[in-house]
Structures are given as structure tokens and as C-alpha cells.
Amino acid sequence: MTIELVTLSKSFGGEQRVYRHKSATLECEMTFGVFLPPAALEEKKRCPVLFFLSGLTCTHENFIQKSGFQQYAAKHNLIVVNPDTSPRGVNIAGQDDSYDFGSGAGFYVDAKLEPWSKHYKMYSYVTQELVDVVNANLPVVPGKRGIFGHSMGGHGALICALKNPGLYQSVSAFAPIANPTKTAWGEKALTGYIGPNPADWAEWDATSLVSQYESTPQELFIDQGAKDNFMNNLLPENLLSAAAGNDHIQTIYKLREGYDHSYFYIASFIAEHFAYHASLLKAA
């Protein structure tokens, strides 16, 4: 459970840090970002924690450098933790062959198939080990926890929340892969990590999980650029339709006219997501 500081830069009165640790779940060394807001540093106050999951090809660095989130984490006194998108430094044949499978593309699932199943357990890493590591090492308020993400990471945030009612008190997603079993990215990833039978994929599909959800009522804030060049891989309407048929799921949907899939889009609306998470986490 020990973590090692890699870098630290003051940012908006808080500190943007990068840590690394030896992950028992993934059996490799992993790197993640941590933002500590001024209140956590100066007043030594415990703060809620918000997890951000990144998209295809990203490391922990993209969100830290491109989203401009630190300003709003500082304003709302939220700790932000953002992990990498796959195991790293492992040696699996073919892991670097494509941008949408293997390195940088763990899809936040627990792989069932060899050779991926030894290391590629990003779902358990995010929902269990990383939560424990954060609880053990950072000044978080126990039980005040949110999750959000972008694209593949939006999918990750949704499935992590839907499969663990109560673990996160606030959930949002930018341009999530909302129905991966119906898309090229999703089919490739689920075939490779889970297996060839589509019946085995449903537990990793946010739209399927929304259809079947029967636990404590859950609100999902879905954000989408109307000019997103990857819309065929996202299919937010399918998730919205499923949610419309399930009283246990409420959705907030914002379609942003003219915006694409990039961090320019995320940065433009991240203030709204922080305000949303902060209001729910404060109330939790």
C-alpha cells in the first residue's frame, strides 16, 4: 500500500502530484496523478475524492496537462486521483500493436482470456486496490467518492459505478463508450479480453447494466459533443433509452453544439462537472 512521489508542482494553490506504486492486482508498477486542493494542504482538512478515468492511448498525464481541472478541484476542495489506462511494463505479445487494444487500452475490465488475464484487471484495480491505496495514503473523507471519465474512461466510470452501488456518490462521463457491445472499439476489446461469446460481454456494457440495474437510485450525468468524430463508437442514445425504461436510473444529458471528442471539449465543460460532483459529494 505504499506509494512513491514522482513529481510535485504547485497549481492553483494546491499541488499536482504524480505517484507510482507496485500494484498487487495488476502485478506491475503503476503511475497515477493526485491533486490535493489548498484545504487539504494548508488546513489539513480531509476532502472528498474524485476519480477520473482517461480514454484510449492516454497515460495519467493527459488529463493532468490538458483538462484544466485543477482550478475547479481547488475551488471545490476535491482531491482528484487519475490512474493510467492499462497495466504498464508487462510483456505480452501484441500489447503494442494497436491503439485500441492492449497498452493504453485496458477498457476498465477484468480480462478472462490468456495472456491478458494475468495483468489486465483494470476494473478490480480501479474499484478496489486504488480505492484502498487512496484511503491509506491520502487525506480523504471515507465514503465521499465520485467517479468520472472520458470516452473509454467514461465507459469505465459508468460500469464501475453501476456494478458497485454506493461505492461512488457521484458519476459523470464525457463522451462515454456507452454501449460497447454494439461498437467496433467495444467488440474488439471484449472479444480480446473476455472472449468470443457476446453473451459474456453484457456485464461490461453500461447500457446493459443500466437496463438491469435494480439497486439504490443512481443519477448519471452524460456529456456529449454534438460534433464528436467518434460518435459511432459511443452511442449515448442507447444508454439514454435504457435509462428511460428504468425508474432506478436518472440521467442528465448535455449535448454540446459544435464540440468534438478532444480535450478542448473536456476543458470547456469541466467546470460544470466539478460543480456537479461537489454538490453531490458535499450532500453525501
Task: Please give the positions annotated as active site.
Answer: 151, 228, 261
Binding mask 262-281 for its own copies (x = CB under 8 A): xxxx-xx-------------
At its nearest, how many Å lie between its own copies and the CB of residue 170?
A: 23
Using CA of residue 5, residue 7, residue 10, residue 11, what is the dihedral sign? negative
* Binding window for its own copies (CB under 8 A); candidates: 63-71, 83-91, 123-131, 155-163: 63-71
Distance CA 118, CA 26 (A): 7
224 binds its own copies (CB under 8 A): no
Query: Residue 34 phi/psi, 5° resolution?
Result: -135, 125
Distance CA 43, CA 25 (A): 34
How many other C-beta atoms lie within 10 A of the C-beta of residue 18?
Answer: 18
Distance CA 156, CA 202 (A): 14
Map the footprint of its own copies across residues 3-32, applying CB under 8 A: 9-13, 16
66 binds its own copies (CB under 8 A): yes
Query: What is the helix (H) or strand (E) element at residue 9, kind and residue range?
Result: strand 4-11
Distance CA 121, CA 140 (A): 24
- Binding residue for its own copies (CB under 8 A) from 114, 199, 258, 283? 258
- Nearer Cβ to its own copies, position 39 or 161? 39
At its nearest, how many Å lie between its own copies and the CB of residue 212?
A: 36
Residue numbers at the binding site for its own copies (CB under 8 A): 9-13, 16, 65-66, 68, 70-71, 225, 227, 258-260, 262-265, 267-268
